[in-house]
Structure 1
Amino acid sequence: MSIDLGLDRIKALLEHIPYARPTIHVVGTNGKGSVSSLIEHALLSGGLSVGKFTSPHLVHAYDCISINGQSVSPVTYERLSSHLKSLSVDHEIDASPFEFLTATALSAFEEEKLDVVILEAGMGGRLDATNALPDEVMLITVITAIDFDHQAFLGDTISSIAREKAGVIREHGSVVLGDQSPESVAEVLQAVVEVASQQSAKIIKSKPATRITEGPGNSPSDGDAWEPPAPFQSISLPSLNGDKEIRIQLPLLGEHQLGNAGVAYEALKALRERRPALFRAVSDDSISNGFGSVRWLGRLSWTTIPLPAFPPSEDKDGPPSLRVLVDGAHNEASSQALSSYLESVGLGGGRGHTPRTFIVAFSHSPPKTPEDILKKLLKSGDRVALIPFKQPVEGMPWVRNAWRDDVRRSVTKRIGSSGEIWEPQRHVADSPFLQALHWARRRGETAIIAGSLYLAGDFYREFGIL
């Protein structure tokens, strides 16, 4: 199944759905989910009722639709989506799966009469189904970091991708623009300024939050066992009143989350300015408490899982549990962020360091290749398990695994003759993922899962984590 971008079908579907919730539109290549969650938790901390739509889902199709911090129930999801599918048939709309999902989210939010909705764009911007809503419901537009991804649909230059993302900017609207990479900042800014100027929109450029202190040391000395970092990083942001600073223990890890926190902060300031009556409860305290309570699985997320001996004769000397870092790094920019984080916590790998153990899978998304992701991540001597994520992905029948030969070739190139590649055994009853975890367990106490959010979802399903 191919992806057919356009707004005609979703607009036809929305003609049959009343929707009038004040809405925040979040677009970009990386950081959309983190920024959406930060805004969501700050608004919830201020006492507002909040809906959030993100994509793709992590474990179940309905978990991308949340109301007041909780996923909608499977019953509600099925009821609303079935109604919309009947509408599509009755009116010969032929909506796509993502258009049904977007409309289902909007129906759920309207049904609850929520104070505000945070709507994350899917793949693009200008032609994304989330861009079908009328100007009058859109409060602000948030544009996070823009980088290469989905070039087959969005263009093969940063400028063309940025213009597609900026295509959501509304007339006389407010646009919060996130921190960009040094390599692309000029092109992104030029594209956004051009579109914003055409729409007479106001651009608000954000600044990253400030890290207050480094976490505890994580580079072990000789003979010391490596320990994972603290589950948060201490950051500060300016007070909304300008008289002090907001100190936050942010549960989102990595240098890039400083930028995401800065974007979310500026978005909240812009909301107070645009609709002061609705957002008067946004305060230093609501930002501090909200940002400090964020939970966003699959993004530099540490967890420890117990694994039974398998088979006992091979596992008898293995550790009783496995530390796992799960990160949905699936493009060049996000794999660079993961690599930088690993360096910062003493897991940089390479010559003279303890080999790292990865479990990876990649989606087939030309012109992006596994090599684009792995060149930023793997080093000589690394150990890598190659497994597929489960197909079909619920609600996303067009998603499929990258060709295994391509993945194997790219991994071999990166890890060299001193590295190790493992692939699942078909005759073993356990799932490929569980086999990979047992293999990783026999090689140490820490494994890194990366390459795809669909793979991250498989991990959380395997162990019932959500």
Structure 2
Amino acid sequence: MIQPGLERISLLLKGVPLRWKSIHVAGTNGKGSICGYMAAMLRQKQIKTGLFTSPHLMDRWDCICIDQKPVEKRLFDEVEQYFLSVNRKRNIQASEFEILTATAFKIFTEERVEFGIVEVGMGGELDATNVLQNQIISVIGKIGLDHQQYLGTTLEEIAKHKAGILRRGVRYIVNPRNSPRVLHVIDEYAKSIGAGPRIDVEADRVKKTLYSTTEWLEGTHNLAQFQKENAAIALNAVMDALITIGEHSVQDLKLVKVLSEDSRVPGRVERKSINMVFGEQRIILDGAHNEDAAIELSSFLDEGRRGEWSNNLHRQVMRKVGEAQQRAVLFGNRLKTKPITWILAMSAGRDPRTFLSHLLAPGDSVVTVEFGPVEGMPWVKPQPSSELLRAAKDVEPSIIAIDRGTDTLRALYTAKHLLPEDGFVVVTGSLYLVGDVSRLARDLMNPGQHSIVESDGMAAKKASREISQEIDEQRRRLDEEESEAVELLKLDHPSGTEATALHPSTEILDFKHGNTQEELFGNKPSNVMLDGEDGEYHTRVVEPAWLDTPLPPATNGGQQAT
């Protein structure tokens, strides 16, 4: 149960010295990555560092690390039992997260860490981690709408909660990509309590001395833009933290190694091998669970994996053409993308349609599932996978979507069967699902315990046939719907002109004598090509520069396209 407030955690930690310097990190998205980058940098400096993030990924104790390695279960159990006893004897009625936070802080003291990097659980001001009074720097990442029932329904309200981690006389960093009104709320709060000054991670001197160096450029070369921003925040925070122990140089950080290898955060755009299921092909695990995180994940995939036609571009084009053309494009699956097979789960109460609208594209496929019980967090429940399936079909009608209920292993095998030769698999929607898949990958090192991969192979073959039949049936239905869409498109051209789609193996959509380029897209300079022999007009990649300008009406059954 979530119980905001600092009274109980204060009682738990009464008499427990915190002999380490804390770096406190809040934010809606990116705070886990910022923490991971900082831990890797400090380890490179050979400074003993504790790291506390939440929730755990595979095991309850893996959220507490010393020098980037999870603490031993024995140590975790021993310290946790101490606080469970204190909680019982003093009748504190502390929550599971408060017990966990106290456990992390005491372990940091016992292990004699120099720095403790602490990620806020939720919000900031009333979060259990905010009991800390040993901060040397405060960090606030990107702020978005999340946990509104606890933090408020506006960015300003949420920002005020996050700003609660600031301390008088302690410098702080805020992600500069936050909206001006968020930055204003945080800076005003800082001024009211005497916190600061704020460190400007985009100052000219920083750009010249850090971001223009060969080491930084090479280290961040393969990072998505949001990852570069988080890495920059982490580096500036580490530089400031090092000053408190007399270190004034980061020349020995080896940023290329740190940013490309050492700081990979499990469950955040993580590439994972599950050889038992996918062979040599690695899948992507990402714990994105809200709209802002979906946008960042989509950006990452568009930059490196989607191909020429981005997801955002597709959505803009759909707004520019008529309904009949939309249906033909949707069911054509001809856009020049690398199709993604999504394995999805979400927590109850979240908005799947908004989340998925930033991710799904024609040609994709979806497998929905429900994550299992979360150890230590009994209040967390999954969204019914059937509801998630309906939401996915609402967002992208042309996809193949299959519900696997609570069977995560079968979901993986279904994704394998759905996976086209040029596609890839992404597991997302919940860090709890990412944890389930990560544990499953570990368990599959001993395959005999799972019925779908029994040693005699019979169950696996039967399951494989069933999955293939189910997918084939969905593809048949989609083919029928595509044919219906083409027939509707014919009816929307009163002159009797013909409009058809090319063979499914083709990557472009073909309107025979349907619309001229001017009628469908307007006479705009672009990479849209509606030309061909014998009146066959082929829609190819669209240049995005003109997409936000209004277009002339297109023929659409007598209605104007919107």
State the TM bucket, normalised to the shorter chain.
Answer: 0.7 to 0.9
- Aligned residue runs from structure 1 range 288-327, under 5 A: 288=255, 289-292=257-260, 293-307=262-276, 320-327=279-286
Counterpart residue number, 1:452:
430
Counterpart residue number, 2:393:
412
- Aligned residue runs from structure 1 range 120-131, under 5 A: 120-131=119-130
The one-letter code matched in structure 1 to 2:387 is: D
The one-letter code matched in structure 2 to 1:419 is: I
Task: Indicate yes or no: 2:346 matched with 1:362.
Answer: yes
- Aligned residue runs from structure 1 range 339-358, under 5 A: 339-347=298-306, 348=310, 351-353=334-336, 354-358=338-342
| CA shift for structure 1 position 295 | 2.2
- CA-to-partner distance for each residue in 1:146-170, whole Å, 9 max, x for gaps? 1111111111000010110001100
SS of equivalent to 2:284: strand
- Are residues 248 and 321 of structure 1, via their aligned partners in 2, closer, same or farther at CA, if it must alter by over 3 Å? closer
- CA-to-partner distance for each residue in 1:277-328, whole Å, 9 max, x for gaps? 2x44x512215143342121111112332236xxxxxxxxxx7554311111
- Greater Cα shift, 144-153 or 371-380: 371-380
The one-letter code matched in structure 2 to 1:256 is: F
Counterpart residue number, 1:203:
198
- Greater Cα shift, 171-180 or 119-128: 171-180
Counterpart residue number, 2:521:
none
Counterpart residue number, 1:424:
404
Counterpart residue number, 1:213:
none
| CA shift for structure 1 position 207 | 3.2
SS of equivalent to 1:344: helix
Instruction: Provide the rounded CA distance (Å) in 2 between the counterparts of 1:197 and 1:263.
Output: 21
| CA shift for structure 1 position 75 | 0.6
Structure 2 contact 20–112 (Cα < 8 Å) conserved:
yes
Structure 1 contact 358–384 (Cα < 8 Å) conserved:
yes
Structure 1 contact 321–441 (Cα < 8 Å) conserved:
no
The TM-score with structure 1 as length reference comes to 0.83
Q: Which one scores higher on RCO, CA 8 angstroms, separation ≥ 6? A: 1
Q: RMSD of the alignment, in Å?
A: 2.5
Instruction: Provide the rounded CA distance (Å) in 1 between the counterparts of 2:384 and 2:150.
Output: 21
- Aligned residue runs from structure 1 range 67-146, under 5 A: 67-134=66-133, 137-146=134-143
Structure 1 contact 63–71 (Cα < 8 Å) conserved:
yes
Structure with greater strand percent: 1
Could you tell me which of 158, 166, 170 is aligned with 1:161?
A: 158
Counterpart residue number, 1:227:
none
| CA shift for structure 1 position 67 | 0.6
SS of equivalent to 1:190: helix
Structure with greater helix percent: 2
Task: Indicate yes or no: 2:298 matched with 1:336.
Answer: no
Counterpart residue number, 1:285:
252
Task: Indicate yes or no: 2:376 matched with 1:395.
Answer: yes
| CA shift for structure 1 position 81 | 0.2
- CA-to-partner distance for each residue in 1:134-186, whole Å, 9 max, x for gaps? 2xx111101111111111111100001011000110011101111325xxx11
| CA shift for structure 1 position 45 | 0.9
SS of equivalent to 1:325: strand
The one-letter code matched in structure 1 to 2:10 is: K
- CA-to-partner distance for each residue in 1:205-231, whole Å, 9 max, x for gaps? 32399xxxxxxxxxxxxxxxxxxxxxx
- CA-to-partner distance for each residue in 1:402-446, whole Å, 9 max, x for gaps? 133431221111121x21111227xxxxx7122111111112252
- Are residues 433 and 237 of structure 1, via their aligned partners in 2, closer, same or farther at CA, if it must alter by over 3 Å? farther
Instruction: Provide the rounded CA distance (Å) in 1 between the counterparts of 2:216 and 2:157.
Output: 37
The one-letter code matched in structure 1 to 2:342 is: F
SS of equivalent to 2:24: strand
Percent of aligned pairs with the same residue?
34
Instruction: Provide the rounded CA distance (Å) in 2 between the counterparts of 1:412 and 1:113.
Output: 53
The one-letter code matched in structure 2 to 1:9 is: R
- Are residues 455 and 243 of structure 1, via their aligned partners in 2, closer, same or farther at CA, if it must alter by over 3 Å? closer
- Are residues 245 and 251 of structure 1, via their aligned partners in 2, closer, same or farther at CA, if it must alter by over 3 Å? closer
- Aligned residue runs from structure 1 range 147-296, under 5 A: 147-181=144-178, 185-201=179-195, 202-207=197-202, 238-239=208-209, 246-250=216-220, 253-273=223-243, 275-277=244-246, 279-280=247-248, 282-286=249-253, 288=255, 289-292=257-260, 293-296=262-265
- CA-to-partner distance for each residue in 1:335-367, whole Å, 9 max, x for gaps? 011111111124246652454211000011x4x
The TM-score with structure 2 as length reference comes to 0.69
Instruction: Name the count of aligned residue pairs.
Output: 412
Question: Which has the greater radius of gyration?
Answer: 2
| CA shift for structure 1 position 449 | 0.6
SS of equivalent to 2:198: strand
Task: Indicate yes or no: 2:433 matched with 1:439.
Answer: no
| CA shift for structure 1 position 248 | 4.2
Instruction: Provide the rounded CA distance (Å) in 1 between the counterparts of 2:357 and 2:53.
Output: 28
| CA shift for structure 1 position 276 | 4.4
- Could you tell me which runs of 5 or more consecutive residues in structure 2 were left unpaired when the two chains were aligned: 315-333, 446-562
| CA shift for structure 1 position 111 | 0.3
Structure 2 contact 345–385 (Cα < 8 Å) conserved:
no
SS of equivalent to 2:401: strand
